[in-house]
Structure 1
Amino acid sequence: MAAEPNQKKVVVNFQSVANAPKLRQSKFKIGGNEKFAKVIEFLRCQIHQDTVFLYVNSVFSPNPDELINDFLEEKYRNSVLAKFAIRSSPSDPETTTRI
């Protein structure tokens, strides 16, 4: 997730929730002019999952075509907390609810 030299970099801090696997390294830098889709694809590769649900600052999930700088506010500075979860299979006994 390297950025161009003159680009403003943003630190993305990934935090797993629910049954999502934890990352060995949770903080990564990416250029602010990159699309959010690049963050999603990077995370999918890191945890080896096809489907990832990713929320920024526990509030919203940006459009994959949106630039990272576009949804950063001054209060977040140059850092984003990205919580993620995965969808478990319906046959998984730990997550299946009986009705």
Structure 2
Amino acid sequence: MAQTPGSPEIPGQASNIPWSDVGDAPEALQALESYKKKYPSKVIVRFKAVGNAPIMKTNFYKITAANRFQAVIQFLRKELGWKAGDPLFTYINLAFSPAPDDTVSNLYKVRPFSAQGGLC
């Protein structure tokens, strides 16, 4: 259905505004830039011993963002030399314990992390 000049615009109907004019709006440009922003393929994870947990030789590791948090738990068990049955509690910024099936990239996007942008 063609719209005549001066007729009111019907909600839900495509307008006759060219796309080049819509892209000039600052809000639209800002939304496009945030959409184009890529998250890193690897994130820096910082392990910090709490309570009577053993201190690790290296605290910072790069981990693939596509991994599930279960991979981080398995890596941590291997580094500490713990068996599968030994209790291991993991927290992010001492605030919450992530689910093992959550991806590292989702946890990174939540951003309650340290200033370096990694998981704590």
Which residue is 2:87 aligned to? Answer: 51
Higher helix residue share: 2
Structure-2 separation of matches of 1:59 and 1:80: 12
Q: Max radius of gyration: which structure?
A: 2
Relative to structure 1, the CA distance from residue 67 to residue 21 in structure 2 (aligned partners, 3 Å threshold; closer, same or farther) is: same
Taking a change above 3 Å as real, the CA distance of residues 18 and 71 of structure 1, as seen in their structure-2 partners, is same
More strand by share: 1
State the alpha-carbon separation in 2 of the partners of residues 26 and 20 from structure 1: 13
Higher relative contact order (CA 8 A, sep 6+): 1
TM norm structure 1? 0.68
User: Does the 8 Å contact 2:56/2:80 carry over to 1?
Assistant: yes
Letter in 2 for 1:66: D
1:60-99 equivalent positions in 2, closer than 5 A: 60-72=96-108, 73-74=110-111, 76=113, 78-81=117-120
1:35 pairs with 58, 68, 71, which one? Answer: 68
Match in the other structure for 1:88: none
CA RMSD of aligned residues (A): 1.7
TM-score (norm 2): 0.57
Letter in 2 for 1:33: A
Q: What are the ranges of 5 or more consecutive residues in structure 2 without an aligned counterpart?
A: 1-39
Q: Which moved more, 1:36-45 or 1:7-16?
A: 7-16
Deviation at residue 57 of structure 1 after TM alignment: 1.3
SS in 2 for 1:79: coil
